[in-house]
Every structure is written in C-alpha cells, then in structure tokens.
Amino acid sequence: MEERTTISIKNTIGDAYGVEAEDGQKVFELIKKAIDAGYKVTLSFLNIEMLTTAFLNTAIGQLYKDYSEQEIKASLQITDISESGKVALKRVVDTAKLFYKNPEALRNSIDDILGE
C-alpha cells in the first residue's frame, strides 16, 4: 500500500498568505523530504487566501529541478486551491518545465534585447 502524507501550506508557513519566496522554500523542502522518503504528497491549500508566483516558484516550480515530470505527476496531488491559485500554479508549472529543460533560453533572450 502506498504511503501518503498531507502537507498543509497554512501550517507550514504559519498564516494564510503564501506570498514570500522564503515561505515557499519551507514548503518545497517539506515536499522534497516526503518524496525522497518514498511518500506520495497531498499538498493542501486549505485556508490560504493569497498566493504569489514568487511563492509558488519556490514551493513547487523548483521541484522540476530535482524530479522528472513523471515523478512529480506520480508523487504530488493538489487540494483546496482557489481558482486564481490554479491559474497561477499552472503558469508556474509550465514556466518551470521550460526553464529546467532549456537553460539556454534566457541567454538567448538577452541576445534578442541586445540585438534590438
């Protein structure tokens, strides 16, 4: 039987506002610890009132640095996220996939600016 754990964002960061990158880092480390120990993770956004992409980048986006898309799909489940949170998370995830797949893209975008 699979081992599953629930991580409450509210409890991890200590309040209802998932806005600071540093708070996201706490969530990231907890998810990582659980996945590395072989657990499936349910990440609960219950009672979270505000989210920034800066928070979601560190909490979830950077998982794509350490795990493949398949591993993340298999290990992580999201619950109780708001509609606006869903939109932000989708954007964070799509950006993270590209960022870790193609690290040269940013360098190229600088060259574009220089070429204008």
Number of residues that bind another protein (CB under 8 A): 49
Rounded to an integer, what distance in angstroms lies between the CA atom of residue 50 and that of residue 88? 11
Using the rule CB under 8 A, is 6 a contact of another protein?
no
Site string for another protein, 30-49 (x = CB under 8 A): --------------------
Range 48-87 burial, b when 16+ CB lie within 10 A, else e: beebbbbbbbbbbbbbbeebeeeebeebbeeeebeeebee
Contact residues toward another protein (CB under 8 A) are 15, 17, 19-23, 50-55, 57-58, 61-62, 64-65, 69, 72-73, 76-78, 81, 83-84, 86-93, 95-96, 98-100, 105-107, 109-110, 113-114, 116
